[in-house]
Structure 1
Amino acid sequence: MAINNPYTTYQNNSVNTASPGELTLMLYNGSLKFLQIAKKAIEDRNIELKNTNIQKVQAIVNELMVTLNRDLEVSKNLMSLYDYLNRRLAEANVKNDLSILEEVEGFLTDFRDTWKQVVQVNRQKQHAGQGGQA
């Protein structure tokens, strides 16, 4: 008999009810979480944990690349940046280089913070549009 974990249920509901913008924000947050684990793993000389978490960040960056709307000019620029980040992550993984992970973290933090603002502006617009309705 399976026991439902309330945290897992909450996580599943969060993902299932999130807007595309909120899902992107979750990806950025996840990438930053995995980067932190990878950085700590390098410090602790835990190569397996470092490798696993850098690969998770790479998978997220790949997902962000796949979801880009290639018709937009900004997407072409983001594609180049994401490609650069993936190459840097591979290099950090091979060299166990914390400074490269910190560089990648800076980019992903900036992307996440910008995207968070976009999501907040969109929410405000949605709520403003619903405010006049009965």
Structure 2
Amino acid sequence: MRSSLQSYRKVSLDTEISVASPHRIIQLMFAGALQRLAQVRYAMEQKDIANKGIYIGKAIGIIIGLNNSLNMDEGGQIARNLSELYDFMLRKITEANINNDVKAIDDVCEILRTIKEGWDSIPADKHNISAHSEAG
């Protein structure tokens, strides 16, 4: 049952991504990073080293994807600031991994939530004008 549910969720997410706008894909990436970081936090609390490593790897991959999606040519100072924040988050996650530091994970989540709230508040008619590129 559990594997069927996971398969359904993956197909559902794959379907959503295939029809999603670039703006929506970035929203999904933010949500995915936050979910992975929550799983990292739980694994740390449970002293589950294997899953901590898996979820840290996934969170890092998503944040790298967000950083790589920045449009540095058209995004100007906002894109540069976001890139610096993503780099900071990656360093914090690495330190959190080494030190089993739940507070550092919470700090990264707070930053990500703030960026996500800003992204979510972009009006629909402005979705094509942003620091993140249209390629996602």
What TM-score do the two structures reach when normalised by structure 2? 0.82
Residue 42 of structure 2 aligns with which residue?
40
Alignment partners' CA distance in 2, 1:34 and 1:90: 14
Residue 68 of structure 1 aligns with which residue?
70
Residues 51-105 of structure 1: per-residue CA shift (max 9 Å, x gap): 1111111111101111101122210111111101000000001111000000000
Q: 1:40–1:10: structure 2 CA closer, same or farther, 3 Å change rule?
A: same
The residue type paired with residue 16 of structure 1 is: S
Matched, 1:49 2:55: no
* TM-aligned CA deviation for residue 6 of structure 1: 4.6
Residue 17 of structure 2 aligns with which residue?
15
Greater RCO structure (CA 8 Å; 6+ sep) = 2
The residue type paired with residue 74 of structure 1 is: I
Residue 94 of structure 2 aligns with which residue?
90
Alignment partners' CA distance in 2, 1:76 and 1:11: 30
Give the alignment's Cα RMSD to 1 decimal.
1.9
Matched, 1:77 2:91: no
Residue 109 of structure 2 aligns with which residue?
105
Partner residue of 2:29 out of 27, 30, 34: 27
Gaps of 5+ in 2: 128-136
The residue type paired with residue 26 of structure 2 is: T
Alignment partners' CA distance in 2, 1:51 and 1:22: 27
Aligned length: 120
Alignment partners' CA distance in 1, 2:120 and 2:67: 18
The residue type paired with residue 45 of structure 2 is: E
The residue type paired with residue 67 of structure 1 is: S
The residue type paired with residue 56 of structure 1 is: K
Deviates more, 1:51-60 or 1:16-25: 51-60
